[in-house]
Amino acid sequence: MLRTTLRNLLAHQARLVMTALAICLGVAFVSGTLVFADSSAAAYRAAASKDFADVAVTVTPKDPPSGPANRPGTVLDDALARKLADVPGVAAVRPSVDGSAVLAGADGAPLRADSSWANLAAGYLPGKDGEDPRYPLVKGHAPRNSDELAVDAGTAAAGHFALGDTVTLATDGPVMTKRLVGIVSTQDSRVTAGGTLALFDAATAQRLFATPGHYTGIDLSATPGTDQAALSDRVGAVLPADRAEAVSGAAQATQQAGYLDTLTRGYTKVPLVFAGVSLFIGSFLIVNTFTMLITRRTREIALLRAIGATRRQVVRSVLVEAALVGCAASVVGFLLGVGIAAVLPDLLSTGADALPDGPLVIGARPVAAALGVGVGVTVLAAWLPSRRAARIAPLEAMRATTQLPSRTRSRVRGAVGLVLLALGGGLLVSLTGAKDASVENLQSALLGCGLLAVSMIVLAPLLAAPVIRLTGRLTARFGVIGRLARENALRDPRRTAATASALMISTALVSGLAVIGNSTGQALDRQAAAGLGADYVISTRTPTTGIAPAAVDRVRGTSGVRTAAALADSTLFTGGQVRQVSGIDPDAVDAVLRLRFLSGSARDLGPGRIALSASLAREHGLHAGDRLTARMGLGQGFQQYAVVGVYQDNPVARDALGARAEVQKTGFRPGSAQRILVRTDDGSTSASLAGRLRTAVGNNPLLKVQDRAALVREAAGTMGDLLTVMYGMLVIGLLITALGIVNTLAMSVSERTREIGVLRALGMDRAGVRRMIRLESLTVAAFGTLLGLAGGVFGAWAVGALANGALAEYSLALPWGTLLLVVLLSLVVGAAAAVVPARRAASLSPLQAVADA
């Protein structure tokens, strides 16, 4: 049996190549992602270790009580540094002053402003030689006063800075401008991974990030042979226990590497998603390939059974064949995956998001995953055809070359498919009344979509005949050739359905998400128009940043501005939950907001009086005139607030709305606003007006100036990323579908060799044969596309109810252009996949084809 298995494997090399390619894709993504993840983690650890190579212990202040008098670093001063220098085992003491600063490039655009972990700032603290060893100078000189600044070489290149330029930046408050006097190099992995670094003179850094004469950290290097843990304990013994703590350099390196790895972990998720889709869709190709191979070898299997082969031996023979194919494909896929891992850092790195350099790390995990996934999926997919092969009766198989499924089996298949369809469709329909996207509802939606997909796969062979007869009206326009193509597709509905299943699943995924994405985007647009009366929103990038009253006044005086209203944001603690509250002047509500009050109004806002969103009011069972017990901000106590109104949920107004004077006192930066809503003179927006608004707020890189379109794009950012992933999945699905169609048609041509020879002998020319095969391929592709579109649109309609619970403006909106593009791509793939089988069929000699058995 083993020799027979090897002979069969070698006899069908060309047909198994397509299956192996599908396996290769999945294995390549899995192994490549794991190698990339291991290599990146090793590179981050190496970079972090380099950051703390000369640091044995770091002394940092403990989190002080809140309040401006207790800023970080107040306990770390020169006296403590001298005391630490006398600790046994300490070789050198190096104080530091670290913080965060966002810089604006030469074009005014912020550099990495959305990633505060990468916006580093520090004091340049020279030693006795006049240089800071952490930041070797490349050009210019170190900053010497409060008007000077130095940056690292990467920041200078990203911001297009040159020595002598005026650099605009901000730390946590007003914008500053400083003259660039030096460019340094650094080994800090946070900077080399795409961050920015700004260096101030010591006095300026202490004023910005600590207090004059104090530091935010003190690094200690150890004498040779000193254990870091022991030194850390000795240092900790001389520190004020409630004011400072000692951390070893190794612990800091591990912590920083883990932190960076967490921030960039998303890079490994997308390839794994592609791997899962490749393997899932590729499994249909594997099942179809082995089913067709077994069907062609029916007589051979029957003969083996007749001469004594047992069912178990037949099953084992097919599974061994599948294991060998999977093993070979896994090896090739793993090598391809290593290549993917080698190029991923370059593909994922940009000027602002560079990944660390390092050698490829190939451990046991990706090798085991490659073999386990490739061989496991292939053997699992071949198990059902192997069992079907084992049930073939010897005498029955010798009488016929094909075994059509029995009526009983078809009825059982139909019953199972209808039950799954009823369960999945019923579950999705039940979600149309959902009020929110809770975890339970999301889980129900995923389960419903899964059941719907499985039911489509089960029912596909039964739906093949009616759907193909419907689409066959188009192919019938090509005359006899078109009718032959239709009948060929109908000859084996199971084979046609299995071939089209890969395309059906990928089309359903993409079309469904495209519908949801388009509907969500339009809903966000309508919501912005319905809830926001302003034309521009100026907001802070972090809640701890504030907009000074003077900046609000400058915005009001900007040419082209009719109204500018400041909003303060804070937290509202109520009922064990943390909510957001916004403060606005009551007389400015109607000018910049479009609030739909269900009861009460905003005119009565004032101290101790707030308005609630409908969802918050519903949770607490409150109405206008009731009272809410809540705490506003961190420094206040709980008190009773009078509810003066309830408004329809509005993302601009947050969960609750209060008077700005009261809310502003409880925010992260008391006395400052977090947003400015701007209404223009004529209601229009322009690049020049946006530029004037940026100038009015001092071109502060910590602030964003956005019109409605930008707000909608930002709100839909996650959906846009998800759509990009889905389109990538469509490409994978189309590629695997093409392999499946090529495989199916190639085997079909081989099975119909005599039939094609007869058609040629009766007068069909080579062009007619090619056209027949292409039309057959298009018929299969159209079948899968139609089922996928129907399932995807239905799923999007049902799941859209969850979005409707969060977006009051949500309604189903079909992206006709995208759906048409999906259909065209599917049909093009169907036509392209038929090229090679069509040429092979047309090249058959009529006499030789008729003579072949």
What is the rounded end-to-end Cα distance, in angstroms, of the chain?
A: 25
830 band by pLDDT with thresholds 50, 70 and 90: confident
The verdict on 502 and 620 lying in the same domain is: no
Give residue 853's pLDDT.
46
Residue 811 pLDDT > 90: no
pLDDT given at position 523: 76
Confidence (pLDDT) at 351? 46
Task: For residue range 429-455, list pLDDT tens digits in order.
Answer: 887 766 666 667 777 887 888 888 889
Read off the tokens for 806: 């969060």
468 and 582 in a common domain: no
* Predicted confidence (pLDDT) per residue in 704-752, tens digit: 899 888 877 776 655 555 566 666 666 766 676 676 677 677 767 766 7
With CA atoms as reference, report the closest residue to 597 among 623, 572, 630.
Answer: 623
Whole-number percent of the chain with pLDDT over 90: 19
Average pLDDT rounded to a whole number, residues 9-25: 66
Position 184: which residue type? Answer: V
| Residue-level pLDDT at 252 | 74
Residue 395, pLDDT > 70, answer no
Pair 521, 572 in one domain: no
| CA distances (Å), origin 681, targets 310, 459, 560, 688 | 87, 60, 5, 14
- Mean predicted confidence (pLDDT) in 403-428: 81
Q: Give the tens place of pLDDT for each residue, 648-658.
A: 888 888 899 99
Q: Which amino acid is at 575?
A: G
| 22 occurs within a structural domain | no
- 491 lies in some domain: yes
Query: Which of 182, 209, 236 is the last residue in one of the domains?
Result: 209
For residues 665 and 761, membership in a common domain is answered with: no
Q: Distance between CA atoms of 297 and 403, rounded to whole angstroms?
A: 11
Which SS3 state, helix, strand or coil, does residue 171 take?
A: coil
The model's pLDDT over 658-694, given as tens digits with 9 standing for 90+, comes to 999 899 888 777 788 999 999 999 888 898 999 999 8
Picking from 678, 701, 724, the residue at the C-terminal end of a domain is 701
* Res. 281 pLDDT band, cuts 50 70 90: low
| Mean pLDDT within 161-177 | 89
Does one domain contain both 790 and 841? Answer: yes
Task: Pick from 44-58, 66-80, 555-569, 757-771 the range whose average pLDDT is largest.
Answer: 555-569
pLDDT score for 73: 45
DSSP lists the bridge partners of residue 149 as 180
Nearest to 806 by CA among 582, 541, 527: 527
Judge if 612 and 734 occupy the same domain: no
Residues 464 and 513 in one domain: yes
354 vs 155: CA distance, rounded Å: 12
- Mean pLDDT, rounded, for 251-261: 68
**Average pLDDT rounded to a whole number, residues 208-213:** 89
What single-letter amino acid sits at 125? L
Residue 156 belongs to what H/E stretch?
A: helix 153-159
Which domain does 200 fall in, by range?
Answer: 98-209
- With cut-offs at 50, 70 and 90, classify the pLDDT of residue 65: very low
Q: Which of 44-53, 143-152, 571-580, 686-695 has the lowest mean pLDDT?
A: 44-53
Residue 33, pLDDT > 50, answer: yes
At 5, is the pLDDT very low, low, confident or very high (cuts 50, 70, 90)?
low
Give the residue-averaged pLDDT of 23-49: 74
pLDDT over 80 (residue 18): no
For the chain, the average pLDDT equals 80
Closest of 677, 646, 638, 641 to residue 659, by C-alpha? 641
484 and 556 assigned to the same domain: no
pLDDT at 70: 41
Least confident of 135-139, 655-659, 756-760: 756-760
306-345 pLDDT tens trace: 777 777 887 788 788 788 888 888 898 899 888 888 887 7
C-alpha span between 373 and 26 (Å, rounded): 8
Is there a single domain that holds both residue 697 and residue 734? no
The pLDDT value recorded for residue 807 is 61
- 627 and 745, same domain (yes or no): no
Q: Which of 647, 670, 701 is the last residue of a domain?
A: 701
* Inside any domain, residue 566: yes
Summarize pLDDT for 360-375 with one digit per residue, the tens.
888 888 888 888 878 8
| Whole-number pLDDT of residue 310 | 78
CATH number at residue 141: 2.40.40
- The pLDDT score that the predictor gives to residue 383 is 81
Domain match, 719 and 813 both: yes
Q: Is residue 460 part of a domain?
A: yes
- In whole angstroms, how far apart are CA 391 and each of 97, 394, 437, 498, 670? 77, 9, 48, 21, 79
Number of neighbouring beta carbons within 10 Å of residue 42: 17
Are 688 and 551 in the same domain? yes
Q: Which two tokens stand for residue 202?
A: 């010591």
> What are the pLDDT digits (tens) for 764-803?
888 888 899 889 888 988 998 999 899 989 988 887 767 6
Identify whether 744 is part of a domain.
Answer: yes
The neighbouring-strand residues paired with 539 are: 675, 704
Q: Into how many domains does the chain fold?
A: 3
Q: Quick check: 455 and 424 in contact, CB under 8 A?
A: yes
What are the tens digits of pLDDT across the range 523-556? 767 766 666 788 999 998 877 778 888 899 999 9
Close Cβ partners of 361 (under 8 Å, ≥ 6 residues apart): 35, 38, 39, 41, 42
Widest distance between CA atoms in the chain: 105
Please state whether the predicted TM-score (pTM) of the whole model is above 0.85: no
Per-residue model confidence (pLDDT) at position 183: 95
At 352 the pLDDT is 43
Residue 779 lies in a domain: yes
Whether 558 maps to a domain, the answer reads yes
Q: Which is higher by pLDDT, 461 or 50?
A: 461
628 and 640 Cβ atoms separated by less than 8 Å: yes
Q: How confident is the model at residue 633 (pLDDT cuts 50, 70, 90)?
A: confident
Q: Per the domain annotation, does 184 fall within a domain?
A: yes
- The token pair at 747 is 């085997």
φ and ψ at residue 303, rounded to 5 degrees? -65, -40
Q: Which of 73-77, 215-219, 277-281, 307-311 has the highest mean predicted lDDT (pLDDT)?
A: 215-219
